[in-house]
Amino acid sequence: MTHVLRVAIVDPKDSSRESLKSMLLGIDTIWLDADCSRYEFFQDVVQQTHPDIAIIALDAKPEKALELVARINEVCPECSIFVVSGSTDGNLILRAMRAGAKEFLTQPLKTNDIADALSRMEERRAGKGKTRSRGTATICVAGATGGVGSTSIAVNLACALAKNPDRTVGLVDLDLCLGDADVFLDTIPDYTIVDVAQNVTRLDFTLLKRSLTKHASGVYLLPRPVSMQDVSLITPEDLQRVIGLLKATFSHLVIDLSKGYTQNDMVAMSMATSILLVTQMDLPCLRNVVRLLATLGPMEGVGEKIRIVLNRTGLGDTQISLKKAQDTIGREIYWQLPNDYRTMVEVRNNGVPLVDQSPKAAVTQAIVGLAETLGGEQEQEDAAKQADPTKSSIGKILGFWSKGKSSK
């Protein structure tokens, strides 16, 4: 299971609710959407937030809680109900299951109990053909050097993906100092990534969408901080939770990375399903691609996701052939985008995406093709299998990264 499941809990007992909450917050494949201390309010909470799983603690008032299980099961049949109790009374278990609970978890709970229940739930859903096989396609766009075209590709890829109304698309500007994704979309955002990062534990699905800037294309933008001083407020841990929340919210996420290859960029890459490494066909760029692949390539959870995107092909002044470039890099070129400076500058200056401004241009067709390939069902499934959003793998990657940095 690689996608994030949204969970709401109700437990009138503060101590057990808090310990359940902290356990859930430690599981990366779970996003805690809402926690509630009153049985009376929980039905409304579930109807408003539409979680994948509702966890109902029975012990405060078992009769009231069982009624709630039956009601939630009736009004939200798509939501899986787990109940939690310190009791192992067979009669209580039977009544909870008859009311509609899918899992009966006994206190004291361990993380493994929840993980096992989640796997069983996935198996049941898969059996009914209901599995959410579409994990969030999380596409990071990195660049081999400054000005190589990463933001142009990230923004236009997000807009091309959003053309399909079945998709929900988020765009994150992780170029925290100098990012300009807002310029490409001609928007003046109310909130930035700093607001979301600082409130991430309090945000639910609805509030998150309100904190993002919705562009006419349908893309939701999370922009860089307004002030450069605020950049340091975003820690890798915050970012991990922000991306977790975004993955629980959108079907597709595009992240424009900085060229600094910072710890935050590494977190994003480790949570991605694909990493597009944008380069041009010149010597300094290709040399950087080789260097980047030498460093990132061996990293488990990163290296295997990297795809080389050659931007501005056909730019007159290059003496390097495609074959020579591939031989130098040691990898296939995954995608090519033709050079079209006039169109690209026009779309940026007008703040209108390629798909709307120049739908017939060759560069637009190349972006649309890339979006369809990356956004396609099969691609998502394959990519989701590669994604490893566990904390331990991020920890390992960050450890590897800081060790490398300090030894320089």
Ligand X SMILES: Nc1ncnc2c1ncn2[C@@H]1O[C@H](COP(=O)(O)OP(=O)(O)OP(=O)(O)O)[C@@H](O)[C@H]1O
Burial class for 227, CB neighbours closer than 10 Å (0-12, 13-18, 19+)? exposed
The nearest distance, CB 139 to Mg ion, in angstroms, is: 15
Spatial distance between the Cα atoms of 335 and 6, rounded to a whole number of angstroms: 34
Among 27, 36, 114, 148, binds ligand X (CB under 6 A): 148
Of 5-13, 148-156, 309-317, 385-393, the window that binds Mg ion (rule: CB under 5 A) is: 148-156
- Provide the residue type at 229 as one letter: Q
DSSP at 281:
S
Closer residue to Mg ion, CB minimum distance, 73 or 150:
150
For position 312 contacting ligand X by CB under 6 A, the verdict is yes
Torsion over CA: 209, 215, 218, 224 (sign):
negative
Among 8, 101, 239, 337, binds ligand X (CB under 6 A): 337
Spatial distance between the Cα atoms of 347 and 354, rounded to a whole number of angstroms: 6
Decide which of ligand X, Mg ion, none touches 363; Cβ closer than 5 to 8 Å per partner kind. Answer: ligand X
Of 2-10, 113-121, 141-149, 204-212, the window that binds ligand X (rule: CB under 6 A) is: 141-149
Of 38-46, 139-147, 161-169, 398-406, the window that binds ligand X (rule: CB under 6 A) is: 139-147
Burial class for 97, CB neighbours closer than 10 Å (0-12, 13-18, 19+)? middle
Sheet with 103-106, strands from edge to edge, namely: 30-36, 5-10, 53-57, 80-85, 103-106
Among 16, 151, 339, 364, binds Mg ion (CB under 5 A): 151
Q: Which of 58, 103, 100, 93 is nearest to 76 (CA)?
A: 100
For position 311 contacting Mg ion by CB under 5 A, the verdict is no
The nearest distance, CB 139 to ligand X, in angstroms, is: 15
The nearest distance, CB 176 to Mg ion, in angstroms, is: 12
Decide which of Mg ion, ligand X, none touches 249; Cβ closer than 5 to 8 Å per partner kind. Answer: none
Q: Taking a C-beta distance cutoff of 8 angstroms, is the pair 256, 181 a contact?
A: yes
Decide which of ligand X, Mg ion, none touches 312; Cβ closer than 5 to 8 Å per partner kind. Answer: ligand X
Among 311, 358, 380, 393, binds ligand X (CB under 6 A): 311
DSSP at 228:
G
DSSP at 108:
S
Closer residue to ligand X, CB minimum distance, 27 or 154:
154
Q: How many residues are given for the chain?
A: 408
DSSP bridge pairs for 106: 85
Among 339, 358, 364, 380, binds ligand X (CB under 6 A): 339
Q: Phi/psi of residue 361, each to 5°?
A: -60, 150
Closer residue to ligand X, CB minimum distance, 180 or 237:
180
Spatial distance between the Cα atoms of 207 and 140, rounded to a whole number of angstroms: 24
For position 156 contacting ligand X by CB under 6 A, the verdict is no
**402: which 2 tokens?**
């800081």
Spatial distance between the Cα atoms of 104 and 361, rounded to a whole number of angstroms: 57
Site for ligand X in 166-185 (CB under 6 A): 175
The site for ligand X, by CB under 6 A, has a size of: 20
Among 89, 341, 376, 382, binds ligand X (CB under 6 A): 341
* Interface positions with Mg ion (CB under 5 A): 150-151
* Interface positions with ligand X (CB under 6 A): 143, 146-152, 175, 259, 311-312, 337, 339-341, 344-345, 348, 363
